[in-house]
Amino acid sequence: MAKALPSSRAVTPQARVESASHILKRFYVAERTLMRTLAAWFVGTSQWDLKRQLSIDMWQTAQHADALRTRILELRYPRRDVDRKYDPDVLALLAEVAKAKDSREFVAGVYDVLLPALVASYQAYLDRTDSLDDAPTVYRLQHIVADKQVQMERMHALMERVYGNEPDSVADWRDYLARCVASIGGLDGLGECVPMPADHPCAGRPPYDVPRTVERDPRWRPALFHLPHENKYDAAGRAAWKRIEALDKRVAMQVWSAISHFNEIWAAEVPASVMWDLESEPWDFYLDLARWSWDETRHSTMGWRVLEGWGWNVPDLVPWATGLYNALGSVPPAQRLALLYYYEEGLLRAGTKQIELRILESAQDDGSSQDMDYDWADEAIHVSYGYKWLRHLLGDDSAGREELRRLTDEARQIMADFVTAHKDDPAAQLAPYFERLFPVVEAMVRDIPDDGLAIEWAPVVADEEVLQEL
Tell me if 220 is assigned to some domain: no
User: In CATH, what number is assigned to the domain containing residue 318?
Assistant: 1.20.1260
pLDDT of 164 reads: 85
Q: What is the pLDDT of residues 250-280, one digit of tens each?
A: 999 999 999 999 999 999 999 999 999 999 9
Average pLDDT over residues 323-340: 96
Residue 215 within any structural domain of the chain? no
The CATH number of the domain holding residue 49 is: 1.20.910.10
Choice between 70 and 85, residue whose per-residue pLDDT is larger: 70
Tell me if 379 sits within 8 A of 347, measured CB to CB: yes
Question: What integer is the mean pLDDT of 299-319?
Answer: 98
pLDDT for the residue 214: 98
User: How high is the mean pLDDT of the chain?
Assistant: 95
Give the SS3 label for residue 226. Answer: coil
Of 235 and 462, the one with more pLDDT: 235
For the chain, the farthest-separated pair of C-alpha atoms sits apart, in whole angstroms, at 98
Position 169 confidence tier, pLDDT thresholds 50, 70, 90? confident
**In degrees, to the nearest 5, what angle opens at C-alpha 318 toward C-alphas 317 and 323?**
145
Phi, psi of 317 (to 5 degrees): -100, -20
Specify whether 143 is located in the same domain as 250.
no
The answer to whether residue 284 sits within a structural domain is yes
In sign, the C-alpha dihedral spanning 275, 280, 285, 288 is: positive
Q: What percent of the chain has pLDDT over 90?
A: 90
The one-character DSSP state at 77 is T
Q: What is the pLDDT of residues 55-76, one digit of tens each?
A: 999 999 999 999 999 999 999 8
Are the C-beta atoms of residues 289 and 275 closer than 8 Å to each other? yes
Distance between CA 354 and CA 336 in Å, rounded?
26
Q: Is the same domain home to 338 and 449?
A: yes
Q: Are residues 409 and 328 in the same domain?
A: yes
Task: Answer for the pair 45, 216: CB distance below 8 angstroms, yes or no.
Answer: no
The more confident residue out of 80 and 181 is 181
Specify whether 178 is located in the same domain as 242.
Answer: no
Task: Indicate whether 468 pLDDT > 70.
Answer: no
pTM for this model (two decimals):
0.96
Q: Which helix (H) or strand (E) holds 31?
A: helix 17-44
Both 291 and 439 in one domain: the answer is yes
Its sign, for the CA torsion 225, 228, 233, 239, is positive
Whether 308 and 457 map to the same domain: the answer is: yes
pLDDT confidence band for 79 (50 / 70 / 90):
confident
Question: How many Cα atoms sit within 13 Å of 369 on the Cβ side?
Answer: 10
Q: Is residue 2 part of a domain?
A: no
DSSP state of 83: G
What pLDDT does 350 receive?
87
Same domain, 176 and 262: no
List the Cα angle 116/120/121 in 5-degree steps.
Answer: 120
Length of the chain: 470
- Using DSSP, how many helices (H) and how many strands (E) does the chain show? 18, 0
Quick check: is 230 in a domain? no
What is the rounded CA–CA span in Å between residue 51 and residue 353? Answer: 26
Helix axes 366-394, 249-262, angle to 10 degrees: 50
Give yes or no for residue 461 having a pLDDT over 80: no
> At 101, which amino acid appears?
K
Residues 168 and 265 in one domain: no
Of the candidates 92, 122, 117, 97, which has an alpha carbon nearest to the alpha carbon of residue 109? Answer: 97
- Cα–chain center distance at 206: 24
List the one residue out of 456, 460, 438, 436 whose CA is nearest residue 246: 438
- Does residue 242 carry a pLDDT above 70? yes
- Are the beta carbons of 210 and 221 closer than 8 angstroms? no
Angle at 216 between CA 116 and CA 171, to 5 degrees: 30
Q: Which of 118, 149, 183 is the last residue of a domain?
A: 183
Q: What is the distance between the alpha carbons of residues 313 and 438, in angstroms, rounded to a whole number?
A: 13
Model confidence at 236, in pLDDT bands (50, 70, 90)? very high
Q: Tell me, what's the pLDDT at 466?
A: 56
Is the preceding peptide bond at 78 cis, omega within 30 degrees of 0?
yes
In angstroms, the CA 138 to CA 157 distance is: 29
CA distance 70 to 82: 9
Q: According to the model, what pLDDT value does residue 168 have?
A: 81
Query: Is 139 in the same domain as 260?
Result: no
- CA neighbor of 229 nearest in space, from 249, 203, 256, 211: 256
Last residue of a domain, one of 163, 183, 203: 183
User: What average pLDDT does range 85-89 have in this prediction?
Assistant: 94
- DSSP result, 146-198: HHHHHHHHHHHHHHHHHT-SPPHHHHHHHHHHHHHHHHBTTTTT-S-B----T
291 and 166 in a common domain: no
Distance of CA 470 to the CA centre of its chain: 31
Q: Same domain for 151 and 282?
A: no
Q: How confident is the model at residue 118 (pLDDT cuts 50, 70, 90)?
A: very high
Q: Residue 465's CB: how many other CB atoms inside 10 A?
A: 9
197 inside domain: no
Q: Do 260 and 161 lie in a common domain? A: no
Between residues 346 and 59, which one has the greater pLDDT?
A: 59
Residue 55 covered by a domain: yes
Q: Which residues contact 114 (CB under 8 A, 6 or more apart)?
A: 30, 34, 94, 97, 177, 181
pLDDT bin (cut points 50, 70, 90) of residue 420 is: very high
How many Å apart are CA 349 and CA 192, to the nearest integer?
A: 58
pLDDT at 469: 58
Q: Are 89 and 193 in contact (CB under 8 A)?
A: yes
pLDDT band at 465 (very low <50, low <70, confident <90, very high): low
The total of structural domains in the chain comes to 2
* CA dist., res. 364 & res. 369, Å (int): 8
Percent of the chain clearing pLDDT 70 (strictly above): 98
Residues 209-231: what's their mean pLDDT? 96
pLDDT for the residue numbered 348: 85
| Per-residue confidence band for 401, with pLDDT thresholds at 50, 70 and 90 | very high
- Span between the terminal Cα atoms of the chain, in Å: 93
From 147, 164, 183, the end of a domain falls on 183
For the segment 127-138, the average pLDDT, to the nearest whole number, is: 96
Question: What residues does 193 pair with on adjacent strands?
Answer: 184
* pLDDT score recorded for residue 81: 82
- Give the domain extent around 289: 235-469
Task: Give which of 173, 43, 35, 33 is closest to 104, Cα–Cα.
Answer: 173
Residue 432 maps to a domain: yes
